[in-house]
Amino acid sequence: MQRRALLGRETERRALAALVEQAASGSGGAVVVRGAPGIGKSALVAEAAARAASRGT
């Protein structure tokens, strides 16, 4: 499966990256990602999950 570039989501990407960092430091939580179909929710979450996995979080 080919991954498309995630464009125009810098605010959301930074927010999720900060939450991954918090989780890595021991503060857990939950995140809800919502929006219209086709706006890139799955890609955004996949990127955050990959970031967490690369940190071992």
**pLDDT tens by residue, 1-54:** 555 666 778 999 999 999 999 988 888 889 999 999 998 999 999 999 998 898
pLDDT given at position 57: 59
Print burial letters for 38-57: b (CB count within 10 Å at least 16), e (below 16). eebeeebeebbeebbeeeee
pLDDT given at position 7: 72
Backbone angles phi, psi at 43, to 5 degrees: -65, -40
pLDDT given at position 3: 57
pLDDT given at position 33: 94
Backbone angles phi, psi at 26, to 5 degrees: 105, -5
C-alpha closest to that of 48 among 8, 20, 9, 10: 20
